[in-house]
């Protein structure tokens, strides 16, 4: 993604207040909806702001957030940020999303099946064939005029570090990938 962050990097790295975003993991079940609501409002008020994205998936949709560099208007490379099994949509922001945005990428984070809101609010469990999760994410990105369709990157950490290679075996519209199973 490059070695030199843009001048906006420090602002982008710390604007998301990770302490607030990570709270949903530690709240007991009755508090999860409130924590989820706070996390969503934090994404929306961040700098740069995150655009909520709804990803059609089976008979429901996966929630996501697309973050772009400030004042970006042209098609840019886009990183699909895939978090691990039990983490909120924000967990991979600091190691993957923020550095990508600081280097001129758009970054899309989302909750997949079995992750946070999809599990707790919708009862949608994990699935081993992660290409069936990544393909709808790519489908949402491709028609966007602000995404360069030839430069879509998939990155996964923790459990997603195992899912990414499987998704790549079937989803051929991804230009590059990073798989870090830690």
Catalytic positions: 158
- For residue 28, the Cα-to-chain-centroid distance in whole angstroms is 24
Q: How far apart are alpha carbons 19 and 33 in whole angstroms? A: 17
- If one counts every other C-beta atom within 10 angstroms of the C-beta of residue 87, the result is 19
Q: How far apart are alpha carbons 150 and 175 in whole angstroms? A: 7
Q: How far apart are alpha carbons 6 and 26 in whole angstroms? A: 33
- φ, ψ dihedrals at 61, nearest 5°: -145, 150
Supply angle C-alpha 69, 85, 152, rounded to 5.
Answer: 35
Cβ atoms of 146 and 68 within 8 Å: the answer is yes
- Of all helices (H) and strands (E), which one includes residue 38? helix 32-45
């Amino acid at each position: 993604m490059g070695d030199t962050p843009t001048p906006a990097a420090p602002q982008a790295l710390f604007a998301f207040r990770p302490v607030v975003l990570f709270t949903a993991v530690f709240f007991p079940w009755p508090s999860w909806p409130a924590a989820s609501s706070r996390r969503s409002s934090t994404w929306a008020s961040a700098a740069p702001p995150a655009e909520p994205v709804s990803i059609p998936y089976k008979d429901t949709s996966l929630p996501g957030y697309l973050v772009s560099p400030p004042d970006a208007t042209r098609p840019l490379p886009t990183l699909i940020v895939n978090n691990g099994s039990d983490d909120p949509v924000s967990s991979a922001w600091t190691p993957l999303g923020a550095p990508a945005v600081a280097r001129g990428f758009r970054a899309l984070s989302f909750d997949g099946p079995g992750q946070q809101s999809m599990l707790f609010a919708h009862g949608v469990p994990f699935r081993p064939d992660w290409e069936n999760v990544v393909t709808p994410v790519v489908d949402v990105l491709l028609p966007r005029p602000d995404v360069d369709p030839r430069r879509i990157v998939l990155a996964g950490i923790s459990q997603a570090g195992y899912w990414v290679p499987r998704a790549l075996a079937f989803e051929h519209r991804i230009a590059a990938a990073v798989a870090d199973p830690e």
